[in-house]
A and B are shown apart, each in its own frame.
Chain A
Amino acid sequence: MSIQEPFSDGASVVHRLDPRGRIVVAAIFAILIATTSTYATALAGLALAILCLALARLPLRQVAVRLLVVNSFIFFLWLVLPLTYPGDPVWRLGPLTATRQGLVFTGLITLKSNAIILALIALIATVPVVTLGQALHQMRVPDKLTHLLLFTYRYIYVFEQEYRRLVQAMKIRGFRPRTNLHTYRSYAYLAAMLLVRSFDRAERVFQAMLCRGFNGTFYSLTTFSWQGRDSLFLTASLPVLVGLVFLEWFKPTLL
């Protein structure tokens, strides 16, 4: 098992765009949609996200799986928010009252989350993590943040293996999780050991980097080439994003 990047290889229009343009557009889009409070903007956003997704030609089944994960969190919002949001009651069940405003609000959150996730899948998940790190680096994102991303990507797999080794070591000595102090203590040891080992490994990796002349700056091999289609993508996206802002301002009432 390792981190999969099922969306990053492809040859669609979206895949061929410069990652930097995609990051900029996706970031602005996510901020706009996250702050919107109208259905019209959220719906327009969802439509745009679906359009991007169609252009990226991604395997729909895997996209659906991702959406399912996100929406399983949102499901809990549906359980709680309509019942706790103050407003006009729509129906009652014993002591519980669902409000119209609560339902409307939860629906808006659902729309917004799905629009953002779809846009991120279409624009960002189609960039391999490594390239993403390098693109962020080129966009003058602080080195520490891009290093964090790249190292997490590289070592999460090693830590997972380490975790599995430790769990196996526990299992072969007859450990079975139960609800008792022994189990909790063993899990605490497991977590602590994983932390200590990660720390040690980080130190050794850093030493190995020093030995190869690392001086705090990463020099990247990748050079990105900004092309005509990237300028086109950016200039075409801007009016659309501005359109979303206008939509938000004029607040056409759908509900």
Chain B
Amino acid sequence: MSDPLIEMHNITFTYPGSPRPVFQDFHFQFFPKNHLGLTGPNGCGKTTLLHLIMGLLRPQAGNIVIFGQEIKQDKDFIPIRQKVGLLFQNPDDQLFCPTVMEDVAFGPLNQGRSPAEARQIARETMESLGLRGFEDRVTYKLSGGEKKLVSLATVLAMQPQLLLLDEPTTGLDENTRHRLIHILQDLSIPYMIVSHEPEFLNHTVKECCHVHGHCCQPTPVPPEGKEV
């Protein structure tokens, strides 16, 4: 098997002011080409795991290796964030520009693209997600489902090599959920999904991990659930 994309060893993480650590001597590996579901009860550390990978939270102990590079300090995360996309639980946290076009172009502009290139990338990304004609819509006036898809577009516009999705189906209607399933099935990059919906995970991932304090061991998803 090839080298893991993400390796976490002996991670200890406690939220400030909390008596109990979320992770204690936690081990985790994520391999290329994998589509992984993260499950577990509320508060077991699924979102925390994603935030540790992005460097939004720093562990008190342990080491993290991403794309073969060991993360030693905060600034090591800067190139990582250019390659890993994180879709937040709440799209209102993710969409902060007034218009959709500006929001989708925000990432590419930060990657050093020219305004014209960023516009082009944003347009292509939106098109691939079926969001044609959304360019000048005002982000806060979008519906919940539209916000979610636009958030996904903002992340995909950065052409990430790995995608992390935090409860992407919360608040979505059946239709948008199906759209999301198809979008994910068509993606060529590895991804990890935090979700409480076994049925959604059946359609989108190959393995599931039950996250708890020490480790998270993948178990394959039964193959019969694969067809939509």
Chain B CB within 8 A of A31 CB: no
Q: Of B85, B98, B118, B141, which contacts A211 at CB under 8 A?
A: B85
- CB neighbours of B101 from chain A (8 A): 221
8 Å CB interface, B67-113 against A: 78, 81-82, 84-86, 88, 90, 92-94, 96-99, 101-102, 105-107, 109-111
Q: Of B86, B98, B154, B155, which contacts A150 at CB under 8 A?
A: B98
Flag if B115 contacts A220 (CB, 8 Å): yes
Q: How large is the interface on A (under 10, 10 to 19, 20 to 34, 35 or more residues)?
A: 20 to 34
Chain B CB within 8 A of A73 CB: no
Q: Of A157, A207, A212, A221, which contacts B102 at CB under 8 A?
A: A221
Q: Of B82, B84, B119, B140, which contacts A221 at CB under 8 A?
A: B119
Majority-rule SS of A interface residues: helix
A212 to B102, CA, bound (A): 13
Q: Of B93, B110, B115, which contacts A208 at CB under 8 A?
A: B93
Flag if A153 contacts B93 (CB, 8 Å): no
Flag if B140 contacts A158 (CB, 8 Å): yes
Residues A208 and B96 in contact in the complex (CB < 8 Å), given A214-B110, A221-B101, A221-B109: yes
- CB neighbours of B81 from chain A (8 A): 210-213
Which residue of B is nearest A207, CB measured? Answer: B56
A54 to B86, CA, bound (A): 50
Tell which of A130, A204, A211, A214 has the most Cβ of chain B within 10 Å. Answer: A211
Chain B CB within 8 A of A215 CB: yes
- CB neighbours of A158 from chain B (8 A): 92, 140
Shortest A251–chain B CB gap in Å is 46
Which residue of A is nearest B109, CB measured? Answer: A219
Flag if A213 contacts B115 (CB, 8 Å): no
- CB neighbours of A220 from chain B (8 A): 115
Which residue of A is nearest B102, CB measured? Answer: A221
Binding site for A on B (CB under 8 A): 51, 54, 56, 78, 81-82, 84-86, 88, 90, 92-94, 96-99, 101-102, 105-107, 109-111, 115, 118-119, 139-141, 154-155, 158
21 A-B residue pairings within 8 Å (CB atoms): A150-B97, A154-B96, A154-B97, A154-B139, A158-B140, A204-B93, A205-B96, A207-B56, A207-B88, A208-B93, A208-B96, A210-B56, A211-B84, A211-B85, A212-B107, A212-B154, A212-B158, A214-B110, A219-B118, A221-B105, A221-B119
- CB neighbours of B98 from chain A (8 A): 129-130, 150, 153-154
Chain B CB within 8 A of A151 CB: yes
Shortest A17–chain B CB gap in Å is 21
- CB neighbours of A154 from chain B (8 A): 96-98, 139-140
Flag if B82 contacts A223 (CB, 8 Å): no
Which residue of B is nearest A156, CB measured? Answer: B140
Flag if A204 contacts B88 (CB, 8 Å): yes
Contact with B along A68-92 (1 / 0, CB 8 A): 0000000000000000000000000
Tell which of A2, A157, A201, A213 has the most Cβ of chain B within 10 Å. Answer: A213
Q: Of A151, A208, A213, which contacts B82 at CB under 8 A?
A: A213
Flag if B110 contacts A212 (CB, 8 Å): yes
Shortest A222–chain B CB gap in Å is 8
Flag if A219 contacts B140 (CB, 8 Å): no
- CB neighbours of B109 from chain A (8 A): 219, 221
- CB neighbours of B99 from chain A (8 A): 130
Shortest A182–chain B CB gap in Å is 30
Shortest A134–chain B CB gap in Å is 9
8 Å CB interface, A147-171 against B: 150-151, 153-155, 157-158
Shortest B130–chain A CB gap in Å is 21
8 Å CB interface, A189-228 against B: 201, 204-205, 207-215, 219-221, 223
- CB neighbours of B97 from chain A (8 A): 150, 154
- CB neighbours of B85 from chain A (8 A): 211
Flag if A212 contacts B93 (CB, 8 Å): no
Contact with B along A100-111 (1 / 0, CB 8 A): 000000000000
Which residue of B is nearest A213, CB measured? Answer: B110
A129 to B93, CA, bound (A): 20
Flag if A223 contacts B115 (CB, 8 Å): yes
Flag if A209 contacts B140 (CB, 8 Å): no
